[in-house]
Structure 1
Amino acid sequence: MRNKTIKQSAKEAAVGYLSRRDHAETELRRKLKTRGFDAQEIDQAISHCQEYGWLNDTRYAAMMVRNGVAKGWGALRIKQEMKMKGVGEDIVNHAIEESDIDWYEHGKEVAQRKFGETAIDSPKEKARRFRFLQYRGFDFDQITYALAVTDE
């Protein structure tokens, strides 16, 4: 009887997703909805996962901050990524504040890793480095600090 397929429940699907990696609640809801589960099944699955501590947006946000820092991202980029995953703004801001990252020093490290000790010899090169750090999610003050330190 191989042709007979057993339909997976929303709880099983949710646990399957969470066993591979952490998800934000909104992201998990979206995936379950795409799989064709109705809203009541999804709510039950989400509650089940939260009850057992498998789904936790605060923990997810802290992990996203750590991963973002490891990728050389600034706070703005990390916030944007979490917003796209559906993490609440309060949780995002709390995770960034709790991370005790010095974003100025982190920007400097990212710039040095990318550009080494080479001097900025033209306005075009400075603009290129500025754009790179801006894309990585550092704000104006952080970029200015990072480039001034490497410019010496």
Structure 2
Amino acid sequence: MANNLPETGSRQEQAYQAALALLTRRDHSRLELSQKLSSKFPGEPLEPILDRVVELGYQCDRRFAEIFVRSRVARLQGPVRIKQELRQRGVEQVLIEQAMSQQSFNWFSIAEEALSRKFSGIAEDPKERARRQRFLAYRGFSMDVIRELV
């Protein structure tokens, strides 16, 4: 399938069209796209299709990582969780670090906002402090930020 599109009506063409349909809805990592296509087209060689959509600029793990980081920060998630989710989606560590460092996020203020949306007032008793710490840890904030905040 070098630079030619698959034959019209073939399984390769159907898989290619499915890849384009998925990518028009939202960006996907290469691994996500591969997994979704392989479930719809089992046994079909997908590497040429994935290579083609990358070559055409329709899929890019770097762009996916940047968009993913911004969306997760908007959801008030911390760096630990964001990095873990990107790794699960098959994004290379280098691209994760680039996406995380492109903008300087104030993780303390993001954690503070997440905490204030979920809880009100100051945690007086140890059980309530522990509950808030677990909440922030689940959200993916480092223990340094959690200790300073709670």
Q: Shorter-chain TM-score: what band?
A: 0.7 to 0.9
Measure, in 1, the Cα distance between the counterparts of 2:103 and 2:43: 37
Structure 1 stretch displaced more, 74-83 or 128-137: 74-83
Distance 1:39 1:93, change over 3 A: farther
Which one of 103, 106, 113 corresponds to residue 109 of structure 1?
113
One-letter amino acid of the structure 1 residue matched with residue 30 of structure 2: E
Distance 1:38 1:6, change over 3 A: closer
Measure, in 1, the Cα distance between the counterparts of 2:35 and 2:80: 24
Deviation at 1:94, TM superposition (A): 1.4
State the match for 2:140 in structure 1: 137
Q: Does structure 2 conserve the Cα–Cα contact (< 8 Å) formed by 1:108 and 1:145? A: no
**TM-score (normalised: structure 1):** 0.85
Q: Does structure 2 conserve the Cα–Cα contact (< 8 Å) formed by 1:62 and 1:99? A: no
One-letter amino acid of the structure 1 residue matched with residue 37 of structure 2: L
State the match for 1:15 in structure 2: 20
Deviation at 1:37, TM superposition (A): 5.0
Q: Does structure 2 conserve the Cα–Cα contact (< 8 Å) formed by 1:75 and 1:138? A: yes
Distance 1:52 1:6, change over 3 A: closer
Deviation at 1:90, TM superposition (A): 1.4
Sequence identity of aligned pairs in percent? 35
Q: Does structure 2 conserve the Cα–Cα contact (< 8 Å) formed by 1:24 and 1:60? A: yes
Instruction: Tell me whether 1:97 sits opposite 2:101 in the alignment.
Output: yes
Measure, in 2, the Cα distance between the counterparts of 1:38 and 1:100: 43
Gaps of 5+ in 2: 1-8
Q: Does structure 1 conserve the Cα–Cα contact (< 8 Å) formed by 2:15 and 2:41? A: no
Measure, in 1, the Cα distance between the counterparts of 2:15 and 2:34: 10
Gaps of 5+ in 1: 148-152
Deviation at 1:83, TM superposition (A): 1.4
One-letter amino acid of the structure 2 residue matched with residue 141 of structure 1: D
**TM-score (normalised: structure 2):** 0.86
State the match for 1:50 in structure 2: 54
Measure, in 2, the Cα distance between the counterparts of 1:43 and 1:29: 8
